[in-house]
Structure 1
Amino acid sequence: MIGLDSQARIWLCTEPTDMRKSFRGLSALVRNQLKHNPLSGQYFVFINRRKTQMKMLYFTATGYCLWAKRLEQGQFRVPLSASGQKPLTLTDLQLLIDGIEVQKYRQFKRFQGV
């Protein structure tokens, strides 16, 4: 997995994206469609219409980074959102990349020490 900070803001674009786009095209999508600043250090995830390819764009101190994955079989399970974007946690992103869909989720309270 990519070395992401657990506090990183991750946004999934739920509308299909043309995977021919690279740094400039995806940063324009972030700015115009998602209404975010692509230079903010947040992570932006895009998936194609057939749901077989994924790209993630983010900006570091030295420039843009682009991560890509293409599935040989199967599809990414993309949750729908009316706004065209969905915030993800690091765990959600890892599950999406690994092709794991959680049907029922229950989190138990944990003790937090002082």
Structure 2
Amino acid sequence: MFAPGNLARIWLCTQPTDMRKSFQGLSALVKNQLNHNPLSGQYFVFVNRRKTQMKVLYFEPSGYCLWSKRLEQGQFRVSASASGQRPLSWTDLQLILDGIEVQKIRQYKRYQHSI
């Protein structure tokens, strides 16, 4: 399991993605469809049409990394967005990977140090 830091920016592509794509194809999707720089160090999450496969593309100083997961049963619970992308927190990504769907969210205020 890969573990991005809590401050890592994670983007979910809400449109279905062809899972035959690898480094070149996914980085082109990031640049052309999501309008982000694939070399930025952010994490980009892609899910196929049947929602049974997920790929995460990110760039480290030494090169691209591609993490993949295929479910034997069930589906990843991701909702569509009009813009085609939505930001995720590390916790949100963990919930999607573990198959946990939160019905009601209530987040209490916490101190957050400004950068």
User: What amino acid is the match of 1:79?
Assistant: S
CA distance in 2, matches of 1:61, 1:12: 22
Aligned twin of 2:103: 103
Aligned twin of 1:90: 90
- Which consecutive unaligned segments of at least 5 residues does structure 2 have? none
Give the TM-score normalised by the residue count of structure 2.
0.93
Secondary structure, aligned partner of 2:46: strand
Give the TM-score normalised by the residue count of structure 1.
0.94
The within-5 A match list for 1:31-110 is 31-110=31-110
Aligned twin of 2:26: 26
TM-superposed deviation, 1:3: 1.9
Q: Percent identity?
A: 77
Aligned pair count reads 112
Q: Which moved more, 1:57-66 or 1:75-84?
A: 75-84
TM-superposed deviation, 1:79: 1.7
The within-5 A match list for 1:9-24 is 9-24=9-24
TM-superposed deviation, 1:108: 2.9
TM-superposed deviation, 1:105: 1.1
CA distance in 1, matches of 2:111, 2:99: 31
- Which consecutive unaligned segments of at least 5 residues does structure 1 have? none
